[in-house]
Chains A and B, each alone.
Chain A
Amino acid sequence: MAALLTVENLSIGFGTFDPVVQDVSFSLAPGETLALVGESGSGKTVTCRAVLRILPRNAHIHSGRVVLTCDGKSTDLTTLSERRMRDVRGNQISMIFQEPMRSLSPLHRIGNQVSEVLWLHRRMSESQARKTVLETFERVGFPDPDRAYRSYPFELSGGMRQRAMIAMAMVSKPDLLIADEPTTALDVTTQAQVLGLIKDLQQETGMGLILVTHDLGVVANMAEQVVVMHRGRVMESGAAAPLLKAPAHPYTRQLFEAAPAIPEVIPRPAPAAESDLILEMQAVSKTYTLRAGSAWRPDVEIHACRGVDLALPRGKTLAIVGESGSGKTTAARIALGAELPDPGGAVWFRPAHGDPIAVHDMTRAQRTAFQREAQMVFQDPYSSLSPRMRVLDALTEPLEIHRIGSAAERRDRAADMLRQVGLNADMLQRFPHAFSGGQRQRLSIARAMMLDPSLIVCDEPTSALDVSVQEQILQLLEDIRDRMNLSYLFISHDLAVVARIADEVAVMRQGLVVEQAPPEVLFHDPRHPYTKALIAAQPQPDIDRPINLKLVAAGAGSPETWPEAFRFSASVIPSLTEFEPGHKVRCHV
């Protein structure tokens, strides 16, 4: 069978610099899925965009051919005129982008933006197009296609927007779909459902699929062919099953080793002395009121946290896991005193020496003392460091605020901290832009450590990083914790990360803790349907363990669809019951 798309010796460069993509070749049969795998900077995105010729203005295809074969006719896309290229885009080849939030125009209705493809390529009238689009909307899983047609993008959730993007790409029944990290910005359960949808659609229409991703778990679930890229070159390529089972190239093996997965065996942590709690949250709730904007409509109350009880023993790691909107970040902000809980809730911080501090009710002096003890590491190392401050200034600023030490002492401490996080002391005079993502996150950690705190809140510290770097940062966090007897409150949506670092895991959904247990219990004996869905949705880099979509669908839906024993509604909420020692589940008994 003739290949649908053949890429031969493709080289692409920016301006006069060295090419960022060198000599890349692969081919794809009709109906097949090819995964382009690599870390950031590997050239995978540039490669897939070169197929549609939507490269940045200063990027040029130096050499190579991209041949598309449709209905027995072959065309070289690199030499096609711009006019004829437009007929290929969106018609024969369509594309899905990474960020559904920003890839749709906020000022035009979804229906308009999707129908446009048909107006352009099928010359359909508005009403004809509308009919086809509504059918497609139904197919991609919009509960109310009519309403979706009339909606603006900002009225839909991330998952729904990505479905709209998929509908836009599918509505013209293309021969080839290019999906550039289509699920990276989505929650795991949403990711599982969207991947399932793409797969189903592919089977129905027989289109080819190029899937660009950094996630080997996604590859194992989707691909028949794999191309591994690194620094613009193909490291290894071939059929998915043998490649994933026995990677031949050292770089591929390295990727596999770093790939996050929930381990088979999780060592049971030493039980902590129950009495020595560094942080305790008691019945913490947080309600935000959304003003309805008009006098005769009631204000909407959003329960970000509902009756959260958590305890963090000294020297341990407590992880809060949940998807966006679960209330995990609100809980962390309350723990840090950045936000006050609703009346009735209490947060106690117990320093190693001295009196406990009531974080929900601090005086100015107490707040200053508390801030020295509790620090935070943020998610995005690119935006959490000021680009105008040298590393030295960023690191010594906390000491200046708290008036600790002389300038020389501060400088020495900063240099020492850099060594502690695995960087070099001679980097103090640099600006953040001179560092890679992983190095920046090390800087963030160093900054958090400057005041010698005892509690660190880590808000998704690894989710903006490449997998191989992610691994190093987790290692560093573990080392520092053990070396300095730190306690972590660890916020994450990534179960594999949590399985590795946590001593206790609390799963949150809609502001409630639904299940809580040590990781080895939680991951191997989950009781709650939502926990089960989260675990099932986690893509494993193992071709024999595909995502169980049924399990995901059962738990990821609204709490009203859960089995009787776990169901909750606005008025009836089951209590968190100790199911066995150390394993709590929110269910009716």
Chain B
Amino acid sequence: MMLLRYAIYRFATMLLTLLVVSALIFLIINLPPGDYLSNQIAELRASGQDAGVAKAEFLRHEYALDRPLWEQYMIWVGFMPGPNGFSGLIHGNFGWSFEFDRPVAEIVGESLWLTVLVNLAAVLFVYLVALPLGVLAAARSKTWVDYTSAFVGYLGLATPNFLLALILFYYGHKYFNLPIGGLMDPRFEGQPMTSDKAWSILVHLIVPTFVIGTSGAAAMMQRLRANLLDELGKPYVETAIAKGMSPRRMLTKYPLRMAFNPFVADIGNLLPSMVSGSVLVSVVLGLQTIGPTLLTALKTQDQFLSGFVLMFVALLTLVGTMVSDVLLVLLDPRIRYEGRET
């Protein structure tokens, strides 16, 4: 009950934050002088192609770029009717990409879900690797287990992602016949989902997951190890040992539970850093995620496309923090019962 109320409250604040973020994004995108169309018009005029100018002028009016900035924003989000009535982000219309000359939704379409897929896989990888290794490193601290995992971890942190990607592609292809580049076999692109396509995606995911997740996993592992070592010195651990618990049972029931908090709280930070961190990796690996699109959109001032992609990344971040906040409340009674009279 209490949890439900908190979740609703948290969701409401998330929506509010999203609103503020949308305003900021819109403002920042419009900070550089000019926009895609006015640049294009100037260019067309200079080269004397007046036919194109008419089309650009039409688009300018069609997308309300000739109006004041705040009106543009309201129309973009969908709070105010544009030239064609209410039609903004909240109505599911993501706008027009001038660069690609197609609706944003169409361009982004599949790559949106592939982005989510790649990053979820990477997050999962981070947790699956960091949890056992971190616990092991703490439980066997200052032994060869600890030193080895720390060494591998630092190696993971220090190796540039794209380098790691190239190495993995080479050896992955040579020894395991893993595919190079892309997120699926080209023949499945644009095709409906089938089991063959799913398998193709899965095989293609292996290297990118590894590449994007390694540094995160290494950092997370070190953090978990440090937290756990801190907890192992606390008196309640001594109490548990004095009760006659076996070390393994004691470790998993008490200190690990405590060290878990920062672990969970990291979900929120992990998602955005992976999305932005994976832009470069996506370019290098030729992944059809949203990253390369964002890069092009920002370079050409394609404002609706870049605005939408940024909004999407912000949404991922906010959902991540919301999930971790709700999980923390679920995990830690001290947070849950804050303000309850004793």
Contacts and interface: CB of A to CB of B under 8 A. Distances in A.
A361 interface: no
Nearest to B254: A105
Interface residues of B, number: 26
B339 A89 contact: no
A116 B236 contact: no
A568 B241 CA distance: 45
A371 B171 CA distance: 72
A300 B242 contact: no
Contacts of B331: 107
Given A97-B235, A103-B236, A300 B243 contact: no
12 contacts: A86-B246, A91-B244, A94-B242, A95-B242, A97-B235, A97-B242, A104-B239, A105-B236, A107-B257, A120-B245, A165-B239, A168-B239
Contacts of B236: 102-106
A54 interface: yes
Interface of B: 234-236, 238-246, 253-254, 257-258, 331-334, 337-342
Interface of A: 52, 54, 86-91, 94-95, 97-99, 102-108, 116-117, 120-121, 152, 154-156, 165, 168, 290-294, 300
A294 B9 CA distance: 12
Contacts of B341: 292, 300
Contact of B333 (A107, A165, A294): A107
A371 B234 CA distance: 39
B177 to A, nearest CB: 47
A291 B238 contact: no
Contact of B238 (A54, A106, A155, A300): A54
B335 to A, nearest CB: 10
Contact of A116 (B235, B243, B338): B243
A120 B340 CA distance: 33
A171 to B, nearest CB: 10
A89 B244 CA distance: 5
A97 B238 contact: yes
A297 to B, nearest CB: 9
Contact of B234 (A86, A102, A155, A168): A102
Contact of A86 (B235, B244, B253, B339): B244
Nearest to B247: A82
B110 to A, nearest CB: 43
A54 B242 contact: yes
A117 B244 contact: yes
A295 to B, nearest CB: 11
B227 to A, nearest CB: 14
A201 B196 CA distance: 71
B245 A86 contact: yes
A103 B239 contact: yes
Nearest to B331: A107
B313 to A, nearest CB: 33
A300 B239 CA distance: 35
A89 B242 contact: yes
A99 B235 contact: yes
Contact of A155 (B239, B246, B342): B342
Given A152-B333, A291-B339, A292-B339, A116 B238 contact: no
Contacts of A291: 339
A54 B332 CA distance: 28
A293 B337 CA distance: 10
B258 to A, nearest CB: 6
